[in-house]
Structure 1
Amino acid sequence: MSLTPRQQGAITLASGGLLMGTLGVFVEEARLDALTLVFFRCVFGFLSLAAYCVWKGFFTRAQFTRRTVALALISGILMITQWVGFFDAIHRTSIAVATVVFHVQPFWVVLIGAALFNERLGVDRLGWIATAFVGLVLASGVAASNNLYGHTSYLIGVGEALFGSLLYAAVTLIAKSLGELRPHLLTLMQCAVGIVCLPMIAPFAGTLTLTHIGPMQWFWLIGMGVLHTGLSYVLIYGALPKLTTPVIAVLLFVYPLTAIVVDAVVYGRALSPSQLVGMVLIVAASLGVNLGWPLLSLLHPGGRTRSHAK
């Protein structure tokens, strides 16, 4: 029995999310600093994406204008900074906590869009955003004093993941304005920015280890670039055009849910009940924002009608 394009897209997007959910294991097992991890992710991600783009014939002159190149380079700086912060957040907190905190990114997109483009948020969206940030407080563990007492590093990690989500929101908005540039090429250029810039800033930003890397460490580094930057992005970008917004909104949470399970199974770091409640709130709020679910409008007459009329 052959699958429909929509079914193929759903399976492909879920597969990409499952693969991305294992990223934290590669970060932990490589046992290298965040700057080194990101540099080699960029190297091997660039090579794998370049091979794919050549195979698909994506390198055409029409794809590269002054505007697209300039914006792609800016997004590259933001993306590489975000990756460094996220990887360091995993080291300081855990795979699950860093990933869950990072996934408040959709709400930054909404807030930044409202600030830049004067978009009206509405009472429902504001309610869902408030719900998401309550979930953030619970999921991050900052409400649990036993997690934080004397653990400045943990708080720094939570802050890095949160700041990374803000940077990624900016990258998302830039990508939306680059509709004419294939997303594979955008990621390729972001990796190129990392390859060039990270060695230049290493003396000021931290350690960049290029030698004395063991065979198993190379395995994790190559996997991070080929699997989590090459293959996973190809799967995700290939699936999105085949799916509707509601399906995408639901399936995008395969990634953080997989990361939570992987962290619990591999490292025994299960989220506490309050953190799981926070994760549920973030997921529900994200779906509410993306799908236009009514929330606060239910509290006043006619709210449901207005919400569905959007």
Structure 2
Amino acid sequence: MNYGAMLKLTISMTIFGSIGFFTAHTGVDAVELVFARCICATIFLGALWLLTKQYQSEIFTKKEVLRALLCGVFLVLNWVFLFKAFEEMSITVAISIYNIAPIFVLLFGAVFLRERLSVGAVIATASCFLGSIFIAGIHQLGSIDAVLTSGFVPALLSAIFYALTMLMSKTIHQLSSYALTVLQTLVGIVMLLPFCDFRAFEGLTTTNWLFILGTGFLHTGFVYYLFFDSIRSLSTIIVSVLVFVDPLVAILLDVALLAFRPDMWQLVGIALIFGGILYTVYEPLRQRRAT
């Protein structure tokens, strides 16, 4: 068990849990916000890449670069659909559906990476999945139409592309986390440039710009460096469960800053998620002691 990588992933997910709060105060729509994030992240990570002289030891191969670029496409689509979901539904609901991604990671990982799934790992991830459903408040929606028009579709698509991003990044081993993330954010700049409405940035307040820069340098540059640096050293199972720290932080911020009060089902969901996380961390230790 790589505890350093686990700590990095936990920190990145904790910070990312506040992304919805930041997004709500930027004053711009999804495409423009993702475009700004990509620019900020490219500057931040590119500077670190040069300062640490990591570029001197990079090994660029055609296969890895192509995988990194495809991973960038998945990452940008993940961001765009997530912010679209934020525009159509509450932060808590959107981020919870978004974190169904580990279910897709498990399925894709088992099919494409042939990773073995223990019964306990499946139960723990299912527990987290069920917890996210309860947190999302799905039980409060009365019909399928209500679900489809509530922002559920973009939230679900963001989860799918999130899972694809995680799986693709695990197949990249030679590029450093700096090079990988810079390539991805450069892809985002190129992808979104034709669709970006630059008039959206006119008339923004200082507060708006601070939140935009925060989502760019903190939530994108710093967080994604930690994220990609950690998941390549962790199993799909560990990654699948630790990413649920994200919705827990989002819920806590809703309670503390936006006066959100979870109902009974949402409290059950929080307990299920914590249970899945604790089991996944504890079980490998128990097995190691047994041997």
Against the structure 1 CA distance between its residues 210 and 195, is the aligned structure 2 distance closer, same or farther, given a 3 Å change threshold? Answer: farther
Residue of structure 2 equivalent to 1:63: 59
Deviations 1:7-27 (A, max 9, x none): 987776554443322222210
Q: Highest Rg: 1 or 2?
A: 1
Q: Do structure 1's residue 44 and structure 2's residue 35 form an aligned pair? A: no
1:165 is aligned to 159
Aligned partner of 1:177 among 165, 168, 171: 171
Distance 1:131 1:251 in 2: 13
Could you tell me which of 65, 70, 86 is aligned with 1:90? 86
With over 3 angstroms needed to count, the CA separation of the structure-2 counterparts of 1:140 and 1:122, relative to structure 1, is same
Give TM-score, length-normalised by structure 1: 0.76
5+ residue gaps, structure 2 = none
Give, in angstroms, the shift of residue 51 of structure 1: 0.8
RMSD, matched Cα: 3.9
CA displacement, residues 188-216 of structure 1 (integer Å, 9 cap, x when unaligned):
1111111111122458xxx9834343332
Q: 2:206, 2:129 → 1: CA distance? A: 42
Note the residue ranges of structure 1 that are not aligned, 5 or more in a row: 1-5, 294-304
Offset, 1:185: 1.9
Q: TM-score, normalised by structure 2?
A: 0.81
Instruction: Tell me the distance in 2 between the aligned counterparts of 1:12 and 1:276.
Output: 27
Give the fraction of aligned pairs with identical amino acids, expressed as a percent. 29
1:196 and 2:195 aligned: no
Instruction: Tell me how far 1:79 sits from its aligned partner.
Output: 0.5
Q: Which residue of 2 aligns with 1:30?
A: 26
Taking a change above 3 Å as real, the CA distance of residues 118 and 178 of structure 1, as seen in their structure-2 partners, is closer
Q: Deviations over 1:17-44 (max 9, x none)?
A: 4332222221001122111111101111
Classify 1:149/1:275 alpha carbon distance in 2 versus 1 (closer, same or farther; 3 Å). Answer: farther
* Contact preservation (8 Å) 1:101, 1:162: yes
1:182 Cα deviation from its structure 2 partner: 1.4
With over 3 angstroms needed to count, the CA separation of the structure-2 counterparts of 1:117 and 1:48, relative to structure 1, is closer
What code does the residue aligned with 1:211 have?
Answer: E
Residue in structure 2 matching 1:220, options 182, 205, 211: 211
Query: Is 1:264 aligned with 2:255?
Result: yes
Which digits, 9 at most, give the CA deviation of each residue in 1:114-147, with x for residues without a partner? 2224555454444445444433432222211369
Q: Are residues 73 and 124 of structure 1, via their aligned partners in 2, closer, same or farther at CA, if it must alter by over 3 Å?
A: same
Which residue in the other structure is 1:21 paired with? 17
Q: Distance in 1 between matches of 2:211 and 2:162?
A: 24
